[in-house]
């Protein structure tokens, strides 16, 4: 039988007690996500358990709760935020032990501490930095936050920053730590000394897919002059509203079921006739006639409003593509065979 003292329990023994406490139904679901060797080891430990003492069960459940709470704080606000919150709740030493236990095996992404920072505040810190430094930071940010910052940068450096993100491959941990020290007074040591990957074509495409259309056009046009090959590579992977003509009729009909008619009317204002016709022909005659009347009734619209509606529809298309409900044939890709 297991010893009752917490310090005498191994990690596997704790996991076994936890699974026994959860019951067979829940434990079997957990096993589905484990490797075969892990299942064998845990099964062996569970088989060795004769009886779980109440004190052991309480200790294991409390430790699990504390670790999950710490993991949630780290995910939401970074290591320093987690340590501060846990310190207030559990005391200094216990908070350090819990966070150290997690971060010893956790690969913490660089610049994790700015996850909760407002983009406008972050912009004030990095706007005057070298474009390479800005590119490095944006490459590690959430694409939507990076897009917000990229849109707000001086137009003179937007394309340069975008190009640097696209051509970025691997960055030394020493360089990352140096840049991090500029943004925060003190950071936890990176969990690994491995070179970390960020940036590249896919990274800048994801960022550009989230910026406003004006910023996107400025950057693409500048890249076309500076590096036509790179600009073409980026464009091949991007999807803009006008690319809706690349969708097959069945996919367009799926998209239209998700789109608000008012947003659709605004999005179609000012686009080429072939784009409008592609939409109208995938609607009933009555629906298409009503939509045309609504568009006429709208009168002139601000470009910004039109682009916002177009972006909403593009986001719906990307969501349907991600879920596998539709397939988007991008420029340069081979056509699909039914």
Q: For residue 81, what pLDDT is reported?
A: 67
Who's near 320: CB < 8 A, 6+ residues apart?
251, 254, 255, 258, 326
Give me the torsion for CA of 20, 99, 141, 191, rounded to 10°.
-100
**Alpha carbon distance, N-terminus to C-terminus of the chain:** 62
| DSSP line for 26-50 | HHHHHHTTS-HHHHHHHHHHHHH-S
CA dihedral sign, ordered 151, 332, 221, 200: positive
Where along the chain do its domains lie? 6-103, 113-237, 241-322
Q: For residue 61, what pLDDT is reported?
A: 81
SS3 state at 271? coil
Q: For residue 78, what pLDDT is reported?
A: 62
Q: What is the pLDDT along the chain (338 residues), one digit of tens a residue?
A: 344 444 467 778 888 888 888 887 877 788 777 777 777 777 777 777 777 778 888 888 887 777 777 666 666 566 666 667 767 777 777 777 766 666 554 445 666 656 666 677 778 778 888 898 888 888 888 888 888 889 989 888 999 999 988 888 777 767 777 777 666 543 333 333 344 555 678 778 778 877 776 787 888 888 888 888 888 888 777 777 888 888 999 999 999 999 999 999 999 987 888 999 999 999 999 999 999 999 988 888 888 888 888 888 988 987 888 788 887 765 444 444 34
SS3 state at 212? coil
Cα–Cα distance, 205 to 314 (Å, whole number): 14
Q: Report, at the CATH architecture level, how domain 113-237 is classified.
A: Orthogonal Bundle (1.10)
Q: For residue 190, what pLDDT is reported?
A: 33
Cα–Cα distance, 95 to 82 (Å, whole number): 8
Q: Report, at the CATH architecture level, how domain 241-322 is classified.
A: Orthogonal Bundle (1.10)
Nearest Cα neighbor of 273 from 253, 290, 295 is 295
**Shared fold status for 113-237 and 241-322:** yes
CB 17 within 8 A of CB 53: no
Q: How many CB atoms lie within 10 A of CB 336?
A: 8
CA dihedral sign, ordered 66, 70, 71, 72: positive
Q: For residue 77, what pLDDT is reported?
A: 61
Q: For residue 148, what pLDDT is reported?
A: 87
Cα–Cα distance, 165 to 31 (Å, whole number): 40
CB 213 within 8 A of CB 311: yes
Nearest Cα neighbor of 174 from 223, 225, 110 is 110
Within 13 Å, how many C-alpha atoms sit on residue 164's CB side?
A: 17
């Amino acid at each position: 039988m297991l010893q009752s003292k917490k310090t005498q329990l191994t990690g596997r023994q704790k996991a076994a007690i936890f699974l026994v406490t959860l019951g067979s139904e829940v434990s079997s679901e957990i096993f589905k996500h484990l490797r075969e060797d892990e299942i064998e080891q845990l099964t062996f430990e569970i088989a060795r358990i004769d009886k779980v003492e109440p004190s052991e069960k309480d200790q294991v459940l409390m430790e699990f709760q504390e670790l999950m709470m710490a993991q949630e704080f780290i995910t939401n606000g970074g290591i320093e935020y987690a340590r501060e919150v846990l310190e207030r709740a559990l005391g200094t030493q216990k908070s350090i032990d819990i966070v150290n236990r997690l971060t010893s095996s956790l690969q913490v992404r660089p610049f994790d501490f700015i996850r909760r920072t407002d983009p406008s505040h972050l912009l004030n810190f990095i706007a005057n930095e070298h474009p390479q430094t800005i590119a490095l930071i944006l490459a590690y940010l959430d694409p939507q936050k990076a897009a917000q910052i990229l849109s707000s940068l001086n137009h003179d450096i937007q394309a340069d920053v975008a190009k640097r993100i696209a051509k970025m491959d691997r960055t030394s941990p020493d360089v990352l730590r140096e840049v991090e020290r500029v943004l925060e007074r003190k950071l936890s040591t990176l969990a690994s000394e491995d070179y970390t990957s960020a940036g590249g074509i896919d990274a800048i495409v994801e960022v550009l897919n989230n910026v406003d259309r004006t910023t996107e056009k400025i950057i693409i046009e500048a890249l076309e002059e500076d590096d036509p090959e790179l600009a073409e590579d980026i464009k091949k992977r991007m999807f803009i509203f006008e690319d809706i003509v690349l969708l097959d009729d069945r996919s367009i009909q799926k998209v239209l079921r998700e789109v608000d008619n008012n947003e659709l009317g605004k999005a179609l204002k000012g686009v080429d006739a072939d784009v409008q016709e592609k939409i109208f022909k995938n609607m009933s005659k009555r629906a298409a006639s009503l939509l045309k009347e609504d568009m006429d009734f709208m009168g002139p619209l601000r470009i910004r409003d039109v682009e916002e509606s177009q972006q909403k529809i593009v986001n719906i298309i990307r969501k349907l593509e991600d879920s596998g409900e539709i397939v988007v044939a991008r420029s340069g890709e081979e056509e699909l065979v039914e």
